[in-house]
Structure 1
């Protein structure tokens, strides 16, 4: 089984520019005017343009919004240099939501992209999660 990631955005060209600059991803192919596959990581990321206010699902009343929002699913990007990754993402338009923190397993940066999606940068130290695994 393969995985791919879909992210709804309200401005496809802005999203392509952000994900290229912040993460070094490259646009690979377009789905008409409303989708773009971004490659360069372990799984493709598809950016899908969906207007703000459009229904998020046919089974619930929620609509898409692109201000900062919470969701139980987010992306983690593992990096060798968290400080450089944070600087690069901020220069592209991301927001660092709190100072980088250090834990037994590594360093963590809580971020938000310009489309309201939260994500994290992780820099593993020592044995990474094995430092705290039972």
Structure 2
């Protein structure tokens, strides 16, 4: 048995500097900025959301700008296998921390470790 839920909306941004985009999305969504540089490498910024809302991240990328979803889980491999059985494909295991997957519709998404201390509401249980 494992658990999973929608965890994050990630704004993949093909830009040289995330700051302008972070300030735009912060104002557009009415969300304060938690950090302009989450990991110290200029690749991730985070907006403040409540515990029952998805995390909103901006990620600096080399590919075309798009939005992707993160699904958090307490068992990454079990969740990736469950999603494969539904028709998704594993694309890459990144930094030995998360799976990049592709839905049958062609949309990319990530399966990540649990991101907040408590899973909170909207949790799915898979046997």
- Please report the TM-score for the alignment, with normalisation by the length of structure 2: 0.41
Which of these two proteins has the greater Rg computed from alpha carbons?
Answer: 1
Greater RCO, CA 8 A, separation 6+? 2
- Please report the TM-score for the alignment, with normalisation by the length of structure 1: 0.39
Q: Whose strand fraction is larger, Structure 1's or Structure 2's?
A: 2
